[in-house]
Amino acid sequence: MPKWLRNAVFYEIYPQSFYDSNDDGIGDIQGIIEKLDYIKDLGCNALWLNPVFDSPFMDAGYDVRDYKNVAQRYGTNEDLIRLFEVAHEKGIKVLLDLIPGHTSDTHKWFLQSREAENNELTDRYIWTESVWEAPPQYRLMCGISPRDGNYLVNFFSSQPALNYGFHEITHPKWQKPADDTVCIATREALKDMMRFWLSRGCDGFRVDMADSLVKNDEEKISTMKIWKNIRKMMDAEYPEAALVAEWCTPTRALKCGFHADFYLDHEGNGYNTLFRFHDKETGEDKSFFSKNGLGDITLFTKEYLPNLEATKNDGFISFITCNHDTPRMSRNYSKRELELAFCTIFTLPGVPFLYYGDEIGMRFIEGLNSKEGAYSRTGTRTPMQWGGGKNLGFSDAEKEELYLPVDDSEDAPTVASQENRPDSLLNTVKTVIKIRNENEDLWADGDFEVLYAKKAKYPFVFKRGKFIIVVNPSLQEVTAPFDYSGKVVFSIGVGCVENKKILLMPQTFAIIEVD
């Protein structure tokens, strides 16, 4: 386990939209380098970059054409290597996005695999025996290649699935077992891509759709075997590099080699019930962190606590403020609600991820046309808002040339308008991250004990070593049993302790250091 993960706080960068250093309307690697001091000042000490590789961008770069080359629009391989170097000088680690399950249909492997004649990459992807064979349980693309066969896709039709084989074989003529030599060759090719960037200074990977490798693998047995093999390679060759899974099943991901697994926004799961849980019929916000006070913290704890217990020796569960696939919380939350949510995220165990712009409460921009396969995710991917003036400081290009429009509302939040205001969201986020960074008890692997979490009740109270964290997102005054004394290290709103009870005013949060 890389030691640095214990106190890592990640910042996710969608490179298209972070900072445009050469005025062409799209963010780039040099732009990220120029903003490293900002990220450091936030208290983040690690980055995750969404894909920066050569791609036709049918899915914003998750359709890789050449994994070993940086897309021209972001710069060059040398720029990326320089980013690793400058980041390291500042104590910042950099994770790239690894997309192991599929490539673009313009990747040279695929162009070779789709050829009519047999060749060494014929089986690098999954093809049926003939174009007339298209069993409906598989997502197959039909009749669009010289080869007589249909290919399986993972996501969009331009993202053919790489062949890691099948755990259960239903069609023996075209499905290979996961230990077939052609499937092992795919795994080795993946390792080769990883080594390429690890040997150039990258600190690990966020792994896209990590559970999707082997097909018909309900229990993920063969998929987990592949990750165990890859972790073995990393432990031997790059023991300080980290692997973070997009899996959202820690009892699998953390058992097969990942150091951390994202707690993602999946409808009705524990994370979702905290921050983005809406009644299906009425649309009413029933999230625990909504001021409505209709939430139920036990929907979260009953899922999270057993997962945490089962994986405590294996790795970390990663809370996110948001990501490039998820609506920003600001879509439904006021500044105060965001503060309470983010402060809680940064005091929970595991390795937290801050999505660019969330620290200033950037909005989800409604009504945009889809950009590069983003569809409903487009509003979450707009340019970072640095200051006043042209394009809010994102780019000097003309407005029409921007990758996506900047928030054009008069009160669009910006870094410049918040950095000098002590009560801004930006400064609240900075303060809580600073407290986390300075106190080992609040790091990823520090103790965690729930003190108060009752069905349909507020507040939520938990203990991390010598700290107690209390949060009341609701508009009600609430109380909870509290048999401690100590000093308040940080608070939002007011509360007090009396007769072994804590009383919290509406919408409050506190970190208390117990005596």
Alpha-carbon torsion 369, 372, 375, 377, what sign? negative
Do 205 and 219 touch, CB atoms closer than 8 A?
Answer: no
404 binds ligand NOJ (CB under 6 A): no
DSSP 8-state secondary structure symbol assigned to residue 451: E
- Select from 12, 59, 285, 339 the one that contacts ligand NOJ (CB under 6 A): 59
CB of 33 to ligand NOJ, least distance (A): 24
CB of 319 to ligand NOJ, least distance (A): 16
CB of 246 to ligand NOJ, least distance (A): 6
Q: Report the residue number whose CB is nearest to ligand NOJ.
A: 62
> Which residue's CB is nearer to ligand NOJ, number 217 or number 265?
265
Burial class (CB in 10 A: 0-12, 13-18, 19+), 213: buried
How far is 219 from 286, CA to CA, in rounded Å? 32
325 binds ligand NOJ (CB under 6 A): yes
- Kindly report the length of the chain: 515
Span 31-50, contacts to ligand NOJ by CB under 6 A:
none
Strands 467-472 and 508-514: antiparallel
CB of 258 to ligand NOJ, least distance (A): 15
CB of 180 to ligand NOJ, least distance (A): 24
Residues 326-345: x/- map of binding to ligand NOJ (CB under 6 A)? Answer: --------------------
CB of 47 to ligand NOJ, least distance (A): 16
> Which residue's CB is nearer to ligand NOJ, number 212 or number 301?
212
> Which residue's CB is nearer to ligand NOJ, number 208 or number 211?
208
> Which residue's CB is nearer to ligand NOJ, number 65 or number 291?
65
Do 140 and 152 touch, CB atoms closer than 8 A?
Answer: yes
CB of 377 to ligand NOJ, least distance (A): 7
Cα radius of gyration (the chain): 24
Residues 442-481: x/- map of binding to ligand NOJ (CB under 6 A)? Answer: ----------------------------------------
- Select from 11, 14, 57, 62 the one that contacts ligand NOJ (CB under 6 A): 62
384-408 as b/e: b if 16+ CB within 10 A:
bbbeeeebbbbbebeeeebbbebbe
Contacts of 411 (CB under 8 A, 6+ apart): none
209 binds ligand NOJ (CB under 6 A): yes
How far is 104 from 100, CA to CA, in rounded Å? 12
CB of 8 to ligand NOJ, least distance (A): 20
CA 287 to chain centre: 20
**H-assigned helices in 384-462:** 415-419, 425-438
208 binds ligand NOJ (CB under 6 A): yes
> Which residue's CB is nearer to ligand NOJ, number 60 or number 471?
60
Span 220-249, contacts to ligand NOJ by CB under 6 A:
246
301 half-sphere exposure, CB direction, 13 A CA radius: 18
- Token pair, residue 468, equals 């107690």
| Helices 181-198 + 221-237 axis angle, to 10 | 40
How far is 107 from 337, CA to CA, in rounded Å? 44
How far is 353 from 344, CA to CA, in rounded Å? 12
Span 245-274, contacts to ligand NOJ by CB under 6 A:
246
> Which residue's CB is nearer to ligand NOJ, number 62 or number 151?
62
> Which residue's CB is nearer to ligand NOJ, number 10 or number 443?
10
3-state secondary structure 200-224: CCCCEEEECCHHHCCECCCCCHHHH
Residues 82-101: x/- map of binding to ligand NOJ (CB under 6 A)? Answer: -----------------x--
What's at 402, amino acid-wise?
A: L
> Which residue's CB is nearer to ligand NOJ, number 246 or number 337?
246
CB of 326 to ligand NOJ, least distance (A): 9
351 binds ligand NOJ (CB under 6 A): no
CB of 305 to ligand NOJ, least distance (A): 27
Give strand ranges (E) for 9-138: 10-13, 46-49, 53-54, 66-70, 93-98
Judged by CB under 6 A, the number of residues near ligand NOJ is 9
Do 32 and 21 touch, CB atoms closer than 8 A?
Answer: no
> Which residue's CB is nearer to ligand NOJ, number 103 or number 428?
103
105 binds ligand NOJ (CB under 6 A): no
> Which residue's CB is nearer to ligand NOJ, number 62 or number 333?
62
> Which residue's CB is nearer to ligand NOJ, number 99 or number 345?
99
Residues 119-158: x/- map of binding to ligand NOJ (CB under 6 A)? Answer: ------------------------------------x---
> Which residue's CB is nearer to ligand NOJ, number 324 or number 363?
324
Strands 204-207 and 316-318: unpaired
Which residues are paired to 498 by β-bridges? 501
Q: Which residues bind ligand NOJ (CB under 6 A)?
A: 59, 62, 99, 155, 208-209, 246, 324-325
